[in-house]
Every structure is written in structure tokens, then in C-alpha cells.
Amino acid sequence: MSKKDLIDAVAKETELTKEKAGTAVDAVLAHIRNSLKNDEEVRIPDFGTFKVTKRKAREGRNPATGATIKIPASRVPKFSPSKGLKDALN
């Protein structure tokens, strides 16, 4: 499902125009993004939790040359599905 498909589904489900549904989807995504930037968790009941985890610096290999490279530490987003979502899929 693409962002356009999501907007279409929200517009159909809520009887909003596609423009207003697009604004709503953009607002939700922006809020999630900004919360993660501030190291806040975003919990959506019966869906899951978005959070930021820290990845340590490590060594890797360049697949083309085989040379060892240093990969710096970074912050990465992580999604953990809720039990309700897992149950819905199984």
C-alpha cells in the first residue's frame, strides 16, 4: 500500500475529500516523525509502538572491495507490533 492508497482509503472510510484526507495522513506522519526526533515513543493501541533505538558503531565490509570500513553509531526507528495486530494476522 502506498501513501496515495492510504489517503484514498482514509477518504473513503471517513467520507472526507482526498485533499482533507491527505492533510490528515500528512499530519499523523509528521507527528510520528517529530515525536521520534524528540526520543518519544508513539503508542497506537491495537496497532503498535514506534520508538528510536541506538545502534552502536561497528565495523563492516565493503562488498565490492572487501575492505573493512567503520560504520558510525546511529539512531534508527523501530516498530513493535501490538498483540492485537499480531493476532489479527494469524
15-49 confidence digits (pLDDT tens): 999 999 999 999 999 999 999 999 999 999 999 99
Q: What pTM value is reported for the model?
A: 0.78
Contact 73, 55 (CB under 8 A): yes
CA–CA distance, 43 with 62 (Å, rounded to integer): 37
Distance CA 90, CA 85 (A): 9
Give the pLDDT score at 7.
95
| Res. 3 pLDDT band, cuts 50 70 90 | very high
Alpha carbon distance 87, 90 (integer Å):
5
Query: Which of 46, 4, 39, 81 is CA-nearest to residue 12?
Result: 4
